[in-house]
Structure 1
Amino acid sequence: MKAEILNLRTLHAGWSRFLLARVRLADGTEAEREIEDHGDSVGVLPYDPERRVATLVRELRVPALYAAGEQSQLEAPAGLIDAGPPEENARREVLEETGLRLHDLEPLGATYSCGGISTERIHLFLAGYRASDRVDGGGGAKGEHENIKVVEMPLVDLANLADRGELTDLKTLTLVLALRVRRPDLFAAAES
């Protein structure tokens, strides 16, 4: 027997939807499970291989403020997929948040952010850029009150944050580790 959803009840519908699912488990018993649903998203680590820096963002994350008192989180640019393919959305989000116009994207795959509660799948990308690709100051989309601060930092420092367990955003940690595996030459100073 396979698990199946018997009933879904919407508890809240806003930017996200919160649902309560009645499920029949594989062993035949029934249980309730909560679901947070807001769709797929993208996450991108823009990096300049010539200068060996990455561009990240800091912005208020109210759940992190609530859970741990953290005012902001250092993270890779990211956002929800509005319409169109993930690559198009990735380029738009990075432009809005960081002011970088990206060209080539290196896809890493799509992964559930927290499969136990959320439907969100994050399409992850690495993206090389040059200093000349900065066309704007970034800061986020007008009217969305994101108050984003753009942070360009050496890849060596970013690797050290990962090594010390100081990257608290899972997509960012994943992207940094993937870049280290795929392009260890960019982190040579951090590895020695």
Structure 2
Amino acid sequence: MGTDTHPTGQQDPGTSAQVADVPASWPVESSQERYSGPVFTLTTDRVEMPDGPDGGTVAAARDYLRHPGAATVVALDEQGRVLLQRQYRHAVRHKLWELPAGMLDVEGEPPVATARRELVEEAGLRARTWNELPSMLASPGVSDEVVHLFLARGLSVVPEEENGFVRRHEEADLVAAWVPLEEAVGLVMGGQVRNGITMFGILAAHTAARNGFADLPDVSER
């Protein structure tokens, strides 16, 4: 059976079973690194792109940020509450409520190991059970950043003497709150929580909770 044409003129892929992101790479005519810093690199590629319905191509410049990626933790306690932390974000001039997270800035460290480390450093917590939530592309129009999300349960407090991490800059001003997951969804839908990764993590965890997280891969031993 062939695909149908949508009223917009675009091809209809058919059923929802056929809808899935797939790897692809258009030819790059040239690439120029414009800036390199401690967090990201700004690159300009000239990419060969379709140029109308006749099958021709044209080279068009595309700027994007190359980012090492990040790991984010949805930490749930025994009462079904999620840990949120308020942190200043200078780019948007706001203090935002967020999930514990950190960059994949240790070479060779698996994302779940980064998540474990960040939970200890930022929240002073360990988790007995780790499950993998869907990963997300934070802003694919301008960045290659992949955010890996994990659900952490069976929490316990790390004694201060075992956590040598010293909070500095934005992290020195962290404020924590434990919010029932259902209420956290309400905060997202009501616009009180607007960090995109946090919104995604809360909604993903809430969806996964419907069957007791049975469909999530267990990565506790990784």
TM range (shorter): 0.7 to 0.9
Aligned-pair CA distance for 1:55 = 1.1
Q: Matches of 2:208 and 2:67 in 1, distance apart? A: 31
What do the CA deviations read for 1:13-50 (whole angstroms, capped 9, x no partner)? 112111111111134111111111121111111011x2
Q: Matches of 1:3 and 1:155 in 2, distance apart? A: 41
Give the structure with higher Rg (CA). Answer: 2
Aligned-pair CA distance for 1:143 = 6.3
Q: Partner of 1:98 in structure 2?
A: 123
Q: Partner of 1:74 in structure 2?
A: 97
| Range with bigger deviation, 83-92 or 50-59 | 50-59
Aligned-pair CA distance for 1:141 = 4.4
**AA matched with 1:22:** R
User: Secondary structure of 2:125's match?
Assistant: coil
Q: Partner of 2:19 in structure 1?
A: none
2:74 to 42, 45, 70: 45
- Distance change in 2, residues 1:134/1:178 (3 Å): same
In structure 1, the gaps of 5 or more residues are 187-192
Q: Partner of 1:21 in structure 2?
A: 45
- Distance change in 2, residues 1:11/1:158 (3 Å): same
| TM-score of the superposed pair, with normalisation by structure 2 | 0.72
Please tell me whether the aligned partners of residues 78 and 93 of structure 1 are also in contact (alpha carbons under 8 angstroms): yes
What do the CA deviations read for 1:141-161 (whole angstroms, capped 9, x no partner)? 426522222222233431220
Count of aligned positions: 176
**AA matched with 1:40:** G
| Range with bigger deviation, 176-185 or 19-28 | 176-185
Aligned-pair CA distance for 1:75 = 0.7
Q: Matches of 1:135 and 1:125 in 2, distance apart? A: 19
1:30 to 46, 52, 59: 59
Q: Structure 1 or 2: larger helix share?
A: 1
- Distance change in 2, residues 1:155/1:135 (3 Å): same
What do the CA deviations read for 1:81-118 (whole angstroms, capped 9, x no partner)? 12311110110011111111123211123221011111
- Distance change in 2, residues 1:74/1:143 (3 Å): closer
| Range with bigger deviation, 113-122 or 26-35 | 26-35
Aligned-pair CA distance for 1:136 = 4.9
Q: Partner of 1:9 in structure 2?
A: 32
In structure 2, the gaps of 5 or more residues are 1-24, 52-56, 213-222
Q: Partner of 1:161 in structure 2?
A: 187
Runs of 4+, deviation exceeding 3 Å: none
Q: CA RMSD in A?
A: 2.3
Please tell me whether the aligned partners of residues 58 and 75 of structure 1 are also in contact (alpha carbons under 8 angstroms): yes
| TM-score of the superposed pair, with normalisation by structure 1 | 0.82
**AA matched with 2:50:** A
**AA matched with 1:164:** G
- Distance change in 2, residues 1:140/1:173 (3 Å): farther
Residues 127-138 of structure 1 correspond to what in structure 2 (within 5 A)? 127-130=152-155, 133-136=156-159
User: Secondary structure of 1:181's match?
Assistant: helix
